[in-house]
Amino acid sequence: MSHPHAPARRALVAIAAALVCALLLPGLASANGKGHGGHGKGHAKGHAKHASKAHGHHGKDKRRLTVMTQNLYLGSSLGPALEAATPEGFVEAVARIYATVQYTNFPQRASAIADTIADKGPDLVGLQEVTKWTTGGVNPPPGYDFLAILEGELAARGLHYTAAATANNAKIGPAPLALAGQGCVQPGPVITCSVTLEDRDVILVNDDAPELTWSNPQSGRYSAQQVIESPVGPLSFDRGWAGIDARLKGLPFRFVDTHLETEDSPLVQQEQAAEFLAGPAKGGTVVATGDFNSAADGSTTTSYAQLTAPGKFRDAWDEGLLGPGYTCCQQSNTPPLAPGALNNPVSTLGSRIDLILSRASARSTGQAEVVGDTPFQAEPPFWPSDHAGVVSTLRIGG
């Protein structure tokens, strides 16, 4: 792991502001939605119809639908960059964050997540923080496309999943990447590498699920967005949702996946929850997955209560029968790594914010479990994600 050390810091000051302006600000405009359609109410993309084939999955009750939700975790806390007070501090924070992304090793974590998908066989998977880290410049370190990596792990296990719908949220960067120990800082000093962060929510459909067909992939962004002022300009995650229309044995339903703003911005998150209910999750039979960032016990924001109010959604997790079902979050702080290095050997999960929800003729069967809440290997990263996932079996119709 590498990050800028004290001898280089004074010299970095002179170039940090210029590099930030030249490299980062165009990306920040995109991150805040300028020049990007589909804000607020969302937009249907008019894709061609897709249908999965029946291959004898679930056997006894063909109206049962197994659903999984999983936040993949972008690989590091972004706190150091969001808290930076100067352009120099921002450049140093970016290096610290990306070194932590390398340390948390998504290829290893994707293998563990793919093992869970192989074991549980979900028909539909809602993913959040399906990150794409793109590096550039002269001899940059490798980047990471989380979706491509996970798809490769699934294929290696003989599994057939299609990325049916994608919400393209924030695109931040390119930002200067000053990883001195990896050849990104040359004499002068000159920072020769850059990194771009893209955030996505993705729906995976099991192509081997019997009599499950889907069409009409859609995505959209919320009108309410949290904007953070930083030394390099405003930053936002441009949060949104992805959805498809589906049929199980001819019975129609909508499947929607989302990732709401964090509890640190409660008013924005609660506005997003209201938009979700009034937009992609409105009316009819709907199954929803997501990292809703609202504790189910009501201790943080009102979003969970909004979503599960009478006439709205039913939560597939019954705490009375299944226990607390904590899914968030694995926490660690071991400098010089950024927080969130997944090197805590003991779980720190303490709230339930990752949910599978259903309404109308989609109902829980009472079968649900938390996954990814135990270490998957004996050395860091210990955890597949900073979130545990949830798998539940629902019944569509009757």
Cβ of 173: how many Cβ atoms within 10 Å?
24
- pLDDT tens digits, the chain, 398 residues: what are they? 333 333 333 333 333 433 343 334 334 333 333 333 333 333 333 333 333 333 334 444 679 999 999 999 999 999 999 999 999 999 999 999 999 999 999 999 999 999 999 999 999 999 999 999 999 999 999 999 999 999 999 999 999 999 999 999 999 999 999 999 999 999 989 999 999 999 999 999 999 998 999 999 999 999 999 999 888 888 899 999 999 999 999 999 999 999 999 999 999 999 999 999 999 999 999 999 999 999 999 999 999 999 999 999 999 999 999 999 999 999 999 999 999 999 999 999 999 999 999 999 999 999 999 999 999 999 999 999 999 999 999 999 96
Q: Is 176 helix (H, G, I), strand (E, B) or coil?
A: strand
pTM of the model: 0.87
CATH no. of 6-396: 3.60.10.10
Residue 358, strand partner residues: 287, 314
Scored b (16 or more CB within 10 A) or e, 36-50 reads eebeeebeeeeeeee
Helix (H) or strand (E) holding 135: strand 132-137
Domain map (residue ranges) of the chain: 6-396
Helix (H) or strand (E) holding 17: helix 6-19
Residues 27 and 50: their CA atoms lie apart, in Å, by 33
At 60, the amino acid letter reads: K
Burial class (CB in 10 A: 0-12, 13-18, 19+), 342: buried
> Which residues are CB-contacts of 365 (< 8 A; sequence separation ≥ 6)?
64, 392, 393, 394, 395
Rounded to 5°, angle at Cα 73 from 180 and 267: 110
